[in-house]
Every structure is written in structure tokens, then in C-alpha cells.
């Protein structure tokens, strides 16, 4: 974070100094990451766990960082098969169920001014 001190007004400099002092006080009150890590490892061991089991990964890798464990991916919702509702009159093999984007043939016809309903398959 680079701050150009030459562009700050005296009031902004005073505010920055106050914020820096507060941050420095906060950091002084904290224990070192190594001390906290040892406490966590000891507590996990006494409860019958390893740090890897609790946080996913080894205790030494990425020391001082807490890693978020990704949620398992959900399987996509499966929709049942649907019979086609629209048919291209120029090519009877081209159909569309009405789900998703319009197929190119239908989009081209709609762009020419026709209505989607004009392509409904009559039961």
C-alpha cells in the first residue's frame, strides 16, 4: 500500500498517523502466530484431532493463515426430458423444446418478424 505523503493535507496526515498508532497498538497486543499455532496444535491433540483434520492441510504449510474449506459442489439439477414444442418448417428435423435460448433457425425467423407461436407443433 503506497501512499504519496506529499499529496496529503495536514489534517489527512494527522488522521493517517492516528490510524497507524491504533494499528500498531493492536498488533502489539497480539501474540505471535507461532505461539497461537502451538496452542491450537496442543488443544487439537488433547481432543484427539490433528490440525489437518480440523482445518484441511498441514500445520506447517501456509503458517499463520486460516484456510477456508470449499463446500462440496452440488450436482446440477436434472430436468426430465421434454417433448419438442416448436419445429422448423423448412427442416422438419430441427425442433426446440422451448427451454433455453432460441435455436438459430428460430431466432432468424423471429428477427424477420414472425412470432414464436407460428412454429408450435400442433398436437
Residue 2 belongs to a domain: no
Residue 5 belongs to a domain: no
pLDDT tens, the chain, 123 aa long: 688 888 889 999 999 999 999 999 998 888 888 888 899 889 989 989 888 888 876 545 455 555 566 677 788 888 788 899 999 999 999 999 999 999 999 999 999 999 999 999 987
pTM, entire model: 0.38
Residue 78 belongs to a domain: no
Nearest-angstrom CA–CA distance, 59 and 57: 7
Nearest-angstrom CA–CA distance, 75 and 41: 35
Do residues 63 and 98 both lie within one domain? no
Residue 1 belongs to a domain: no
Q: How far is CA 105 from CA 88, 95, 123, in A?
A: 7, 10, 21
Determine the structural domain holding residue 94 and report its residue range: 86-119
Do residues 59 and 28 both lie within one domain? yes
Do residues 15 and 57 both lie within one domain? yes
Residue among 56, 59, 58, 60 at smallest CA distance from 69: 56
Domains: count for the chain: 2
Residue 79 belongs to a domain: no
Amino acid at each position: 500500500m503506497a501512499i504519496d505523503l506529499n499529496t496529503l493535507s495536514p489534517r489527512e496526515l494527522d488522521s493517517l498517523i492516528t490510524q497507524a498508532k491504533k494499528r500498531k497498538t493492536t498488533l502489539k497486543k497480539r501474540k505471535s502466530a507461532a505461539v497461537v499455532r502451538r496452542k491450537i496444535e496442543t488443544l487439537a491433540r488433547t481432543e484427539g484431532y490433528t490440525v489437518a483434520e480440523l482445518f484441511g492441510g498441514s500445520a506447517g504449510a501456509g503458517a499463520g493463515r486460516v484456510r477456508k474449506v470449499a463446500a462440496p459442489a452440488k450436482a446440477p439439477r436434472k430436468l426430465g426430458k421434454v417433448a419438442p414444442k416448436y419445429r422448423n418448417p423448412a427442416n422438419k428435423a430441427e425442433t426446440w423444446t422451448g427451454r433455453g435460448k432460441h435455436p438459430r433457425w428460430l431466432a432468424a425467423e423471429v428477427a424477420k418478424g414472425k412470432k414464436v407461436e407460428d412454429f408450435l407443433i400442433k398436437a
